[in-house]
A = this chain, B = another copy of it.
Amino acid sequence: MATPDSPIRVGIVGGTGYTGVELLRLLAQHPHVELTAITSRKEDGMAVADMYPSLRGHVNLRFSHPDRAALNECHVVFFATPHGVAMAQAESLLAAGVRIIDLAADFRLQNTAAFEHWYKMPHACEPILREAVYGLPELHRERIRHAQVVGNPGCYPTTVALGLAPLLAEGGKLIDTQHLIADCKSGVTGAGRKAELGLIYSEVSDSFKAYGVAGHRHHPEIVEQLEALLGRPVGLTFVPHLVPMVRGMHSTLYARVTPEGQNTDYQALFEAYYADEPFVDVMPAGSTPETRTVRGSNMVRIAVHRPSNSNQLVVLVVQDNLVKGASGQAVQNMNLLFGLPETTGLQHVAVLP
C-alpha cells in the first residue's frame, strides 16, 4: 500500500488532452505521487514538457507507447482518453492489481443501453462496470474508498447533481421532480483539445450559442444520479451552452417548489447538506458566484435563490470544468482510494483575476 513514505505510483493513459495536462499540473505537485508512466501512441518518445512548456521543470517524463509503458507496475492508472479506451484495458490492469480512474464515460452509466446509444459502441466489460463506482465523492464517498474502478463524472453532471441533491431530500417532497430544468454554460475546454472547425477561436469568440438541445450524452448520466438519490424517476430538461471563455462552468438550475416545500429554508438546507464538504462552498444568501472564483481550483460554489419569494427556486453552481469537473475530482478520488486526506494536493487558491 502506498504511504507518505512509499509514494503512489501513477500512470496516465493518453495525457495529451486538456484533462491530461491538468492531471499533470495537479499530480506534479501532489506530495504523495510519483509519476511513473504516461502513454501516447502518437507522441511516443516526446518529452511531455515539449508539448506543454508550462510543465518545463516540473515534469521530466516522456510519452511512451502504450505497449511498452509500465502501467502494470502502477498503483493507479488514470485514463484521460477518448471514450472506450479504459474498458478495453481494464481487465488486465485489474488483474495486475492496478486501480483505475477513468475520466471518460466508460464507467459512468450503469445503464448500458443508454451508454451504447450515446457513445455509439457496445460496452466491453459489464461485470467490471457493475462493480465500478461513480466518482462523485460528495454522494458516494464510502463506496469510492473501496472501489477498484472509478468512473469520474462528466463536468455538467457534477454541477447539476451537486446543485440539486439537497433538494431531493425528504423523499423529493420539496420540489416538482418531474420538471427540473438545467440551463448550463460551459467554457470551451469542455469540448476537449481537438482540431475541429467549430472550436476555432474565430468561430467561438465574441459569440454565444446553445447546442445539443435535442439531446446530450450527459443527460442520461445526470438523470441516473438524480434517480439514484431519489429512488424513482425524475424529469429533466437540459440545455447546454458554449461560453467564449477557456475554463469555467455555470449551471442555472430551476425547480418548482411544491406546496409541501413552501416553508422550507433553502439556504439553511443547502448549508447543512454541505456543511462538512471541503470542496462545496454554499455562498451567502443573495450571492451570484462567478466562474473565475474557482479557476484552477477544485471548489464548487453554490448559491440558492427564490426570486420574489415565488415558488420557483433558482440554484447557481460554478466550477472549473477541468478541475472539479474532471482532473481535480479524479485526484480527489485517488486520495480516497489510497486513504489520504481528501484535500491532499488540491488546496490551490483560484487564480483570480
Binding site for B on A (CB under 8 A): 18, 21, 24-25, 28-29, 52-58, 179, 181, 183, 185, 187-189, 193-197, 199-211, 213-215, 235, 237-239, 241, 243-248, 250, 252, 254, 256, 281, 283, 286-297, 299, 301, 305, 307-308, 310, 312, 314, 316, 318, 322, 347-353
Query: Are A54 and B297 in contact (CB-based, < 8 A)?
Result: yes
Q: Output the nearest chain B residue to A216 by Cβ-Cβ distance.
A: B307
Pick 8 A–B contacts, CB within 8 A, sort by A.
A54-B295, A183-B254, A208-B291, A209-B291, A213-B307, A237-B254, A237-B310, A247-B353
Query: Are A215 and B353 in contact (CB-based, < 8 A)?
Result: no
Instruction: Please tell me how many copies of the chain the complex holds.
Output: 4
In Å, the complex CA distance between A207 and B238 comes to 21
Query: Are A202 and B189 in contact (CB-based, < 8 A)?
Result: yes
A54, A197, A301: residue with the most chain B Cβ atoms closer than 10 Å: A54
A213, A310, A348: residue with the most chain B Cβ atoms closer than 10 Å: A213
Q: Output the nearest chain B residue to A250 by Cβ-Cβ distance.
A: B208
Q: Output the nearest chain B residue to A192 by Cβ-Cβ distance.
A: B202
In Å, the complex CA distance between A299 and B299 comes to 26
Residues of chain B with a CB closer than 8 A to A318's CB: 208-209
